Structure 1
Amino acid sequence: MKSEKIRVPQGLGVGQVAERSGVAISTLHFYEEEGLIESWRNGGNHRRYSRDVLRRIAVIRVAQRAGVPLKEIAGALKTLPQGRTPNAKDWARLSAVWKAELDARIEMLTRLRDELSGCIGCGCLSLKACPLRNPGDQMGTGGSGPVLLSGGDGR
């Protein structure tokens, strides 16, 4: 009777993942602590990663570049069955949500840019008329007095 060898997945070492993904080893460890990626330890107690971690890291990096906070990325990745790496369909769903948030952020920054020149000259002598700090006198609905100091603007 011929003995069969059991193949144990070797995985990628932390240095290999760092080199291939362009991410520092310390960042990989941080991602793991935050639950964004997973590894296992081999018999020599070396950290190992499955090859699909490279795609997962790419998704994380693209989302970060779009300004998505890591907590949101982690939450989105946790919605995937059994913590798998996002496929094209998953990416379409995740990126659609992030795209809407990015569009809102772009709109706000564009408005800020367009209204900034008027703000520079005003010296903020009138918070009632300031289109950046108090557009449409929204703070006036919070009553009189130090609305900004009491947190009446939601901050």
Structure 2
Amino acid sequence: MAVSEGLSIGEIASRTGLAVSAIRYYEDEGLVAPWRNAGGQRRFQRADIRRLSFIMVAQQFGFTLAQIKAELDLLPRHRAPNKRDWARISVEFREGLDERIARLEKLRDTLDGCIGCGCLSLEVCALYNPKDTAADKGQGPRYLMGDTPP
């Protein structure tokens, strides 16, 4: 196969380990943009292997497809992303990962005492959350979500 002909969806699936249906879904979501050859078959750039691999890794880190798409939309479609392109994305994603890590550490460090939901079901809640004041801050485990107790 000549490089100018692009890669078939089967070749992309084989290289990335993704199911063909997943690649089609990512196409529908605008994360990859194959073209059609004269026979109407999808053809992908080699750079799409990196894009799809990035999608897989970013999802494993907990990023949503909307967040991933927002970053991929900033990459050029006419050329393979270069080191500078990926470095910019890594800075953005690093900030999100740092925030997520901080939340997970807080959860790990406080989980044995209280989940911060304001349920008053534990004796410590009467001290940590007297009169269910966390409820005034909204739904969910407020103190684990970043709110601070009074």
Per the normalisation by structure 2, the TM-score is: 0.74
Contact 1:40 1:47 in 2 (8 A): yes
Stretches of 4+ aligned residues off by more than 3 angstroms: 81-85, 124-128, 137-140
Q: How does 1:36-55 map to 2 (within 5 A)?
A: 36-55=31-50
Choose 1 or 2 for highest CA Rg. 1
Structure 1 residue 86, shift from structure 2 partner: 2.5
Which blocks of at least 5 consecutive residues in structure 2 are unaligned? 146-150
Query: Which string of whole-angstrom CA distances, capped at 9 and with x for unpartnered residues, describes residues 95-145 of structure 1?
Result: 11111111111111111111111127x735747725xxx8xx5544x5xxx
- The aligned length equals 133
- The yes-or-no answer on 1:99 pairing with 2:97 is no
**Residue number among 121, 124, 128 corresponding to 1:123 in the alignment:** 121
- The yes-or-no answer on 1:11 pairing with 2:10 is no
Contact 1:60 1:73 in 2 (8 A): yes
| Identity over aligned pairs, percent | 40
1:123 alignment partner, SS class: coil
Structure 1 residue 25, shift from structure 2 partner: 0.4
1:112 alignment partner, SS class: helix
Residue identity in the other structure for 1:129: Y
Which blocks of at least 5 consecutive residues in structure 1 are unaligned? 1-6
Per the normalisation by structure 1, the TM-score is: 0.72
